[in-house]
Each structure stands twice: as C-alpha cells, then as structure tokens.
Amino acid sequence: MQFTLLSLFPEVIWPYLNASILGRGQQAGLLTVNVVNPRTFADPPHFKVDNAPYGGGDGMVLSCAPWHKAVASLLPPDASCFGDDTLILLTNPAGELYTQAHARRYAHQAKHLILLCGHYEGFDERLKPVLAAYGAPVLELSVGEYVLTGGELPALSIVDSVARLVPGVVQKAGSVENDSFGESGLLDYPCYTRPATYEGLPVPEVLLSGNHSAIAQWRLQQSNARSQNRL
C-alpha cells in the first residue's frame, strides 16, 4: 500500500515513518511512503504557500496553487485522473471524525492514500473541488475535537492506523484482530505481565490459572465492562 503525505514540514514526519512497525513495513516492501513539500511547487523567489484571507481576519490561508500542483505531480504517467483505488484526504478539525471504521475501509479498499497536512487557518475552500477533478474522492478528516498547530500528527495517525491493518505489517494478526475498536466493536481487555505482584498489586488469579477457557471468559467480561463504561 502507498501513502503520500504533503507537508510544509517534512522533517517532523520522517522520524516517525521510519521507526517501529511503519519502518519494518517499508523494509518488507508492504508499504511505500513518500513525503512531498508543496513549497517546492510555489513560485520563486519567495516560494510563498499562504496569503491573507479575503474579508479580513486573523491568520493566513493556504493557497490553492502549490497544493494543487503537488497533487497533480502524483498522477500516473500520461494520466489525467487517479484510479478508483486512490483517496485524497485533507486534515481539518472541522472535517468528518476519523474512526477505526475508516481505517478498515481504507486498508481494504484503497491502494494509495494522499494526505494533505493543513496549517494556519486551513486550505482555500476551492482546493477540494479542484482536486476532485482528478477523479479520486476528496475527504476532510478530523482526528478529534481539538486544534493542533498542523496536520502532520493527524496525518501520521491516519497512516499508522491504516498501515497496521495491511496484511503482514503487524506480524501477529491476532494483535490487530483483538485490538480496541476491532471487528467485535469492544475495547481491549486489561493486560498484565511479570512480576506477578508489583508494589503490592497482584495480577488477577484467573490469568495465572492456566485455564484458557476461564481466561477467555474473564477477558470478554472485562472488554464488555470497559466498553459500557467508556463508549
């Protein structure tokens, strides 16, 4: 699966992309990740990517042209449109709330995710219809009801959550299937490891019993209880 991130600050993205599971997924050839800086598509000599908002107000708005040209540069050779397996995602606090259901859908149905990392007051509103002309769905996504300095963290969250669902990226498939918000819709159960007692706090006896049926029943009960209390 391929991910392309458009960011004005690629230096903050690469360390995370190259580490841990995402890094191993790339080394195994299961993931392809690219980062493109729209500033390289802005006009010299200043390579400006934003401007003051029409109508006045605080902050700056990201201009259409650099981002438009950056996305156009990703088109397949001699093609005027993307295929059905490409999605264009814009990070935006006002966008649709991103969930695990999105991650599963993208992992199963898409082959190329293009993520635009927003900044400042966001993108010029005309960018979405301009990009839609390239044939791929254009969606605005939010990772929560809060505002960040830039869209790099939301974009990395989306990449991470989708990539780990690509077969083979996480070596133990059960780790993915049993995660919170998995196919069951339940939150994960509490986990413990050695030692059996720490600071006077013991591991639940059932987990030490060796009775796998009882352990499975306890874990399901715990998942149900967590889900009812927190969802």
Q: Does residue 93 have an active-site annotation?
A: yes
Q: Name the catalytic one among 39, 53, 104, 121.
A: 121
DSSP 8-class letter at 39: G
Q: Does residue 167 have an active-site annotation?
A: no
Q: Name the catalytic one among 164, 188, 190, 226.
A: 164
Q: Does residue 124 have an active-site annotation?
A: no
Distance CA 118, CA 15 (A): 19
Distance of CA 44 to the CA centre of its chain: 32
Angle at the Cα of 90 from the Cα atoms of 17 and 58, rounded to 5 degrees = 110
- Token duo for residue 192: 């413990």
Pair 163, 131: CB distance under 8 Å: no
Q: Does residue 121 have an active-site annotation?
A: yes
Q: Name the catalytic one among 93, 160, 188, 190.
A: 93
**Residue 178: which region, alpha, beta or left (left: phi > 0; alpha: psi -120 to 50)?**
alpha
Q: Name the catalytic one among 50, 140, 152, 179.
A: 179
Distance CA 27, CA 37 (A): 23
Catalytic residues: 93, 121, 164, 179
